[in-house]
Structure 1
Amino acid sequence: MDYYAIVHNDFDGTASASVYARAVSSLPKNVWFTEPTKLHEVLSKLELRGVNTIMIGDLGLNESTFSSIIEALKRLRDEGATVQWFDHHVWKDEWKSKLKELGVEVYHDVTTCGAGVVNKVMNPNDEVSKKLASADCSVDIWLHDDPLGEKLRRIVENDRSFEWKRKLIEVFYNGTLWNEEFQKILEKRINEELDGYRKIWKYVKVLEVEGVKIVVAIRWKGPPDISYASQFLMTRTGADIFVSANGKAISFRSNVIDIRRFAVSLGGGGHPLAAGASLRIPLAYRILRKFGIRGPVIDWVSKVVVDVIKKEGIVRYERKNIH
């Protein structure tokens, strides 16, 4: 079966493409890794060239690009394409309705991760796919209930190149979820992370808003990434919320608070326990940051965080049985 895959540029996107490939017993003729904000660009440039099936996985929708996506999909449908879209982010009902009117097959389920949606729909009885989806969901939607997820996420993110992710899709497609190469990468990453944890404190500030402790950080170079750093810092400080800003975007993490509300308030979105939004730090603060002066930028980000939390309020998140 010839098809194109368009997936999110992360572990969940890679896992979604792998589970789909196992379901249709074929690797994609080509795969694009992208972000939700750039999906419309990929679709508008896509040429079928004899391939009539398009799989979209782990990519949500944004109001600002929705009309462009509809226009691009209408063209592809008119050219004879079958489009299957698997996602788990929060959608508006009208988005699903408009896509279905175009003939797009929409599989939307917010109770699992992207790979979990594909697994449920396409091959629920495949043991390899179930294990991969379980590992993926564990880290993608912050369940932290499958140790393989913490290991595989480090493997996927060890190399940011698309070539590496394409290689992993083939490895997972062939039924391998762990091997000697992965073990060596894991050991190297863990050592790098341990070194990074010792340096991370100079990028951090601890706040308290409405009785809830919050860790605010500006991005540092190298490991650990924000997901692992967030767990480390929240545990060490007793905080319930972790916030990280890298100059262009802000990320929220928590184990017990619905932080998606804060991301949405800033124009973004995500999951109840892991979400983010665009946030452009003023140039003056970014210049100071380059010279090693971190205080002003940390204070600026902290003010944004305090303001949005006071505006939206603290809402505890009730975990449900998912997957």
Structure 2
Amino acid sequence: MELQPRTDRRIVIITHNDLDGAAAAASYLRIVGVKPQDAVVLFAEPYNVDQVIDRLTPYLEPHTTVAFMDIGFNSQSTPRAIDRLRSAAVKDLEVEWYDHHVWAEEDVNAVQKLGARLFVDRSTCGAGVVIRYASKLYGVEVDDFMNRLEKAVCAADLWRWDDPLAPKLFRASTSPPDTRNGQWKEKLVEKFFNGVLWDDELQARLEGYLKEELANSSAELKNSYSASSNGCVIASVVRDSDLPSDSILGSMLVSRAHANAAALIKRKGFRRVSLSLRSRGGANVQVIARRLGGGGHPRASGASIILPLHVALLGMISRKYIAKYVSQRLLEVAMATGACKSTADAGGQGNSM
């Protein structure tokens, strides 16, 4: 695919490690006319973006643009990442940030102090923010493929499911068991960059995923636990596998437990666990995640917590002890913040900051 280069700068992209992040990166590269092999594309989560910057800064070259995509503000990692970039001794370093998650005013100010161009639009997905605002920034007309890509990816990422390709892309974007996740996401970026929305390789991955999803989901749901108070129900489960995805298993758990929200728990050490929070509108999980130092948007957010020592020890005997603790902890936060009452998944107006 031949595109007219719109910049002679070195392009470094730090994007979310999911379908939306891959689509955002590919869209940006199409807009600036830089091939994936001529750019650096790194996948990250909001909670570890500072670690990515630490690995990156020694190799930054003069006249570089660092573009963050589909990465929300994390109260712990984002300030550290900003400090690293601010102190980087790189001539003519530019920073762009495209996101669709919830940003507090102080978060916006912190990023803008870096001199970054910040674009936040909650009415679309991360790829949509890139397509809408990077195209204006670089004076590029959005083509039919990018419009089609935005529609399919946003339908999956925002849980609207109003596009027939959305559930297929959502599942197929998960890496095959014999492929490194980052390598598969890089392949997705290349496909989308070249105008490929679906092909035989993605179809084969979809078929493999569906087999794994069916085999794993029933086994994992057996170890779930739910806690309730005043009509608010939080269900949790400790995960052993990456399949089905957190979003799909979370939807199953919400239905099975008649829950306002679900927490998918993964152990990141003896006491630290990561939480993927999912809701279908019964709770604003972004409010819960933010109270725990994480973030996201009303129906899909993430955070991490440290388990009490006794819970971590009991968790070695049965994972249900961990699920019970997390459900009760999140229920307390939900009740304290009114999250179960904040069910409106407000889109918000686009804005350039």
TM-score (norm 2): 0.81
Question: Which residue of the partner structure matches residue 26 of structure 1?
Answer: 34
Question: Which residue of the partner structure matches residue 65 of structure 2?
Answer: 53
Residues 51 and 170 of structure 1: CA distance in aligned 2, closer, same or farther (over 3 Å):
farther
Residue 20 of structure 1 contacts residue 119 of structure 1 at CA under 8 Å; is this kept in 2? yes
Structure 1: any 5+ residue segments left out of the alignment? none
Q: Deviations over 1:103-150 (max 9, x none)?
A: 322212122221110011134632222222222222323333223222
Question: Which residue of the partner structure matches residue 138 of structure 1?
Answer: 155
Q: Which is further off, 240-249 or 44-53? A: 44-53
Deviation at 1:5, TM superposition (A): 1.3
Question: Which residue of the partner structure matches residue 274 of structure 2?
Answer: 249
The structure whose residues are more often helix, as a share, is 1
1 or 2 for the larger relative contact order (CA 8 Å, sep ≥6)?
Answer: 2
Residue 63 of structure 2 contacts residue 92 of structure 2 at CA under 8 Å; is this kept in 1? no
Correspondence 1:73 to 2:93: no
Q: Which is further off, 101-110 or 8-17? A: 101-110
Residue 299 of structure 2 contacts residue 345 of structure 2 at CA under 8 Å; is this kept in 1? no
- Determine which of 87, 108, 129 is the counterpart of 2:99: 87
Q: Which is further off, 263-272 or 16-25? A: 263-272
Correspondence 1:211 to 2:211: no
Q: Deviations over 1:240-297 (max 9, x none)?
A: 3222222312222111221222222222221111112112234554454445x23322
Deviation at 1:217, TM superposition (A): 1.6
Residue 196 of structure 1 contacts residue 222 of structure 1 at CA under 8 Å; is this kept in 2? no
Q: Distance in 2 between matches of 1:18 and 1:242?
A: 31
Q: Which is further off, 153-162 or 271-280? A: 153-162
Counterpart of 2:302 in structure 1: which amino acid?
G
Residue 73 of structure 2 contacts residue 295 of structure 2 at CA under 8 Å; is this kept in 1? no
Residues 191 and 74 of structure 1: CA distance in aligned 2, closer, same or farther (over 3 Å):
same
Question: Which residue of the partner structure matches residue 322 of structure 2?
Answer: 297
Q: Distance in 1 between matches of 2:315 and 2:241?
A: 12
- Percent sequence identity is 33
How many residue pairs align between the two structures?
322
- Determine which of 128, 131, 134 is the counterpart of 2:145: 128
Deviation at 1:310, TM superposition (A): 2.5
- Residue aligned with 1:3, SS: strand
Q: Distance in 1 between matches of 2:221 and 2:333?
A: 24
Deviation at 1:163, TM superposition (A): 1.8
Q: In the TM superposition, what are the counterparts of 1:130-209 in structure 2 within 5 Å?
A: 130-159=147-176, 160-209=180-229
CA RMSD of aligned residues (A): 2.5
Residue 99 of structure 2 contacts residue 129 of structure 2 at CA under 8 Å; is this kept in 1? yes
Residue 76 of structure 2 contacts residue 293 of structure 2 at CA under 8 Å; is this kept in 1? no
